Structure 1
Amino acid sequence: MTIDVLTAEQVAALDVIRDRWIDIGWSTERADRDAAERGVTEAYAAVGLPAPACVWVDSPLAGAIAATQVRAQVRAQVATQVRDQVRDQVRTQVGAQVWDQVRAQVRDQVGTQVGDQVGDQVRDQVRDQVGAQVRAQAWAQVATQAWDQAWDQGGDQARDQVRAQVRDLVATQAWDQVWRALDLSLCSWSAWADAHESIGVTGLAASKGLRTVAAQSPWWWPMRDIAILTDRPTVMARDNQGRLHNPTGPAIEYADGFGVHAWHGTRVPADLITPGWDLPTALRHDNAEVRRCAIERIAGQDGWAKIITAAGWEQVGDAHPDPGNPGQTLALYHVPAARDGGLYPEPVRLLHCVNATVERDGTRHEFGLTVPAGIGDPVEAAAWTFGLTQNEYARVQRAC
């Protein structure tokens, strides 16, 4: 029997499943290791493999390093078999039992939302940080030995060849281990599988093990006779838009100290957050996104006036009394494109204004608001931020 339409009760159940997997993706509770290991056993059994020994580590960094070492010794990864064979079975069952329209509805209501809200940003941030640190640590451990051997063998050419070979080998193997982890993408896939099971699709039992592991261990490496699993992070900090963000420490942190620092969704160097960069360091940084984050952080502490002066951004027009915020002044500045030392991919204008609301300590917050580069008047810029004309803006009371 093919499922061609969902009942109201089934649609409501999809929301519950979606929210459950989003909560799992953001969880910092300690993993139920017994449950995860039962899931590993089921996942292996689903593809005809005996249960492996399960080794737990505290972070994806530790997992990637351990997986690299194990792989170098036994060369027996089975990730593709454990993951892809089960997923293919599930996909076949869903395709045979569910009409395209219903599949699309389930995907959009459950799998895509879980992936968007949890999987993509967490997976990408952690993966990139792990990849960078694994490569750096592995290179540091191996390079000295290789260099010493090449030095003994003699010749600049020999040394250069060995160094290049070792660098390429280390980088490739380390990055392979980061990619081989069955990571948070399993959250969205597991939500998708749970959703189809909830609407009556049968034959999905083979995927139960993978779903059980995904609910407890977001990063794991299955190999023949051994599976390396990581516990959940101890910290997952976000801003009010759900982006990874922590102004005082790691946005993601694991029990062994490995972490990812992020500023409103952008991964940044740890020292940008603690102790923080000074303005010259921020302005010199070659990555425009990181430079923008650093400047935003400094502006939040020291004010935009200091940033504007130090950056030397050209004022556009004269400063003007703020008609929507009596007693305060508006000023407009040109911020060049990132390629010319600015903050954003394309040129913008920055409106320097202050909050209409006085804080408890008697001060007012100041802001640097970006507006299109074609705006040439500070009052027009302020009006644009509210979707108003200049005349309309002049007649309203506002909070910048």
Structure 2
Amino acid sequence: MKLTHAQEAMAAAIEDQWLAAAVQTGDATREAAEKGVRDSYLLAGHEAPDRIYWFGSPRAGAVAVALLSGRLSVPDLPPAVTPPAVTPPAASADPVAVTAASSSTPSTSSAAFAAPPAASSAPLSARVVAAASPGSAASGGSGPGADLLAEVVGELLRQGWVPGETAGPSLRRQVRTEPWAAARRAAVETLGSDGWAQLSAAAGRRSWGLVMDLIAGRLRLRLGEDLAAAFPGDDGRAARMPVLDAIYGQHDGPWLSTFEAADRLFPEAGLMTGLAGLAAVARNAGWWWANETAAVLTDRPTTLTRDNVGRLHRGEGAALEFRDGYGLWAWRGMPIPADLASELPALTIDRIRSEGNAEIRRVMLEHYGYDRYLRDAGARKLGSDETGTLWYLDLPGDEPLVMVEVVNSTPEPDGTSRIYWLRVPPRTRSAREGVAWTFGLTAEEYQPLVQT
């Protein structure tokens, strides 16, 4: 079939709705998301999960899945035994509270952690928290991995997890991949291959680029890198594996939109029936994991900042940030270190000059302003003509910064004339040549009748 203009417009409107869901920030709608999870399991022919756990970010969710699936282990625990008779504490003392509080305090003597595991009468949950606490020998010491492990273990326990309880194998294939494949086969049979291709372009092509390429793809890549850095050796591989099993929740909107548009065109075909649970989660939560006996869900981000073409972009903090503090720092889509983001508001000429990484220096220059940097760093004037003024500045370890200063010949409403700065190739030798280059012309070819 061939879609009419009205049908294409309908598909585009559905894509807009799913795009809005894909970039929505704020807490998840947990009750609706959990119902969607249970429906997804049932539609796939599985019993609903026994437990559903919630975490503040995909990073914490991935570590939780690694723990629940047995890939990442909770540190060895001291055995539980009946303690020998000792002088009883004061009647007002709470031995469990004392044990838990002391074991989770980072300032506890390192000698105590260096000794072999001693028998303990503390409850199992308290001993798990103690073993996973940053600084303990069992947790691997201190650092981002130990901190994250302790946070995830504590959150699992708070939500009712019993140490040793596992979630079973991943059901991503059964819950997500197979329903998608079945729905696609049915859609192609219903619309024909040409009709399906046309509908996919009308209902999903734009949002796929904006969401999957510029947000979800960047998050997936950075998440793997961060988990590898946080956990050494085999633990790093174990922590990264769940990233491959993630279901993207709200970021699945770009392909769900096409199926919803197809379902709207042919409601009798039931094209969204097998995807209803996945769609419910996507409308109400972030990334999630489906395992045999437990599901792990995450909240949507609290912050999402993009530039005018949809790239992650922010100079004053994380461009994509989650409730538990995890985030991605980016400038015009390029990942940048978190400490660089804190530097940007107070950049100096010397700091920019001293940066050895050319890509990071370009980020600094964009934030500082090329025109401002030319003035403050003492750029050399190469010449002027009727088109503008050409400026030149050496950049250590990079190509020279060459720009044309152009004055808009059409005054602003207040009578002033706006100044524009055009970056041109380093080989440029005149302002006319530089301005002509921006139009794809040579200096000789550039002969404007009227300048505006």
Letter in 2 for 1:59: S
Matched, 1:237 2:289: no
> Per-residue deviation at 1:295?
2.6
The answer to whether the 8 A contact 2:390-2:430 is kept is: no
Match of 1:178 among 240, 243, 255: 243
Matched, 1:38 2:90: no
> Per-residue deviation at 1:348?
7.9
Pairs within 5 Å for 1:123-272: 123-139=216-232, 167=233, 169-183=234-248, 185-200=251-266, 202-204=269-271, 205-272=273-340
The answer to whether the 8 A contact 1:324-1:396 is kept is: no
Match of 2:390 among 330, 350, 354: 330
Separation (CA, whole Å) in 1 of partners of 2:242 and 2:311? 26
Matched, 1:106 2:199: yes
SS in 2 for 1:182: coil
> Per-residue deviation at 1:62?
1.5
> Per-residue deviation at 1:20?
0.6
Separation (CA, whole Å) in 1 of partners of 2:258 and 2:348? 46
Letter in 2 for 1:321: S
- Could you say what the CA RMSD is over the residues aligned between the two structures, in angstroms? 3.1
| Higher radius of gyration, 1 or 2 | 2
Seen in structure 2, the aligned counterparts of structure 1 residues 85 and 299 have a Cα distance that, compared at 3 Å, is same
Letter in 2 for 1:296: E
CA deviation profile, 1:284-331 (whole Å, cap 9, x unmatched): 65654333212322336952344676xxxxx7xx62225245xxx322
Match of 2:211 in 1: 118
> Per-residue deviation at 1:365?
6.4
Separation (CA, whole Å) in 1 of partners of 2:26 and 2:323? 11
Match of 1:275 in 2: 343
Match of 1:157 in 2: none
CA deviation profile, 1:320-348 (whole Å, cap 9, x unmatched): 225245xxx3224677xxxx932xxxx68
Letter in 2 for 1:195: A
CA deviation profile, 1:132-183 (whole Å, cap 9, x unmatched): 33223223xxxxxxxxxxxxxxxxxxxxxxxxxxx1x223222222232112
Separation (CA, whole Å) in 1 of partners of 2:7 and 2:27? 31
The answer to whether the 8 A contact 2:390-2:404 is kept is: yes
> Per-residue deviation at 1:366?
6.6
CA deviation profile, 1:77-126 (whole Å, cap 9, x unmatched): 21222111111211221122121221111111122211112221111222
> Per-residue deviation at 1:234?
1.3
CA deviation profile, 1:172-197 (whole Å, cap 9, x unmatched): 22222223211265121111211211
Matched, 1:350 2:402: yes
The answer to whether the 8 A contact 1:333-1:349 is kept is: yes
Letter in 1 for 2:226: Q
Separation (CA, whole Å) in 1 of partners of 2:198 and 2:362? 38
Higher RCO structure, 1 or 2 (CA under 8 Å, sep 6+): 2
> Per-residue deviation at 1:208?
1.0
Match of 2:7 in 1: 10
Separation (CA, whole Å) in 2 of partners of 1:321 and 1:18? 50
The answer to whether the 8 A contact 2:407-2:420 is kept is: yes
> Per-residue deviation at 1:23?
0.9
SS in 2 for 1:319: strand
Seen in structure 2, the aligned counterparts of structure 1 residues 355 and 366 have a Cα distance that, compared at 3 Å, is same
> Per-residue deviation at 1:26?
1.3
The answer to whether the 8 A contact 1:279-1:298 is kept is: no
Q: Percent identity?
A: 30
The answer to whether the 8 A contact 1:332-1:377 is kept is: no
Seen in structure 2, the aligned counterparts of structure 1 residues 322 and 19 have a Cα distance that, compared at 3 Å, is farther
Separation (CA, whole Å) in 2 of partners of 1:59 and 1:359? 48
Higher helix share: 1
Separation (CA, whole Å) in 1 of partners of 2:311 and 2:377? 25
What is the TM-score with the length of structure 1 in the denominator?
0.76
Match of 2:397 among 335, 341, 351: 341
> Per-residue deviation at 1:280?
5.7
User: Mind listing any 5+ residue stretches in structure 1 that lack a counterpart?
Assistant: 140-166, 310-314
Q: How many residues are paired up?
A: 347
Separation (CA, whole Å) in 2 of partners of 1:330 and 1:358? 23
Seen in structure 2, the aligned counterparts of structure 1 residues 6 and 244 have a Cα distance that, compared at 3 Å, is same
Letter in 2 for 1:196: A
The answer to whether the 8 A contact 2:38-2:277 is kept is: yes
Higher mean Cα deviation, 196-205 or 215-224? Answer: 196-205
The answer to whether the 8 A contact 2:199-2:258 is kept is: yes
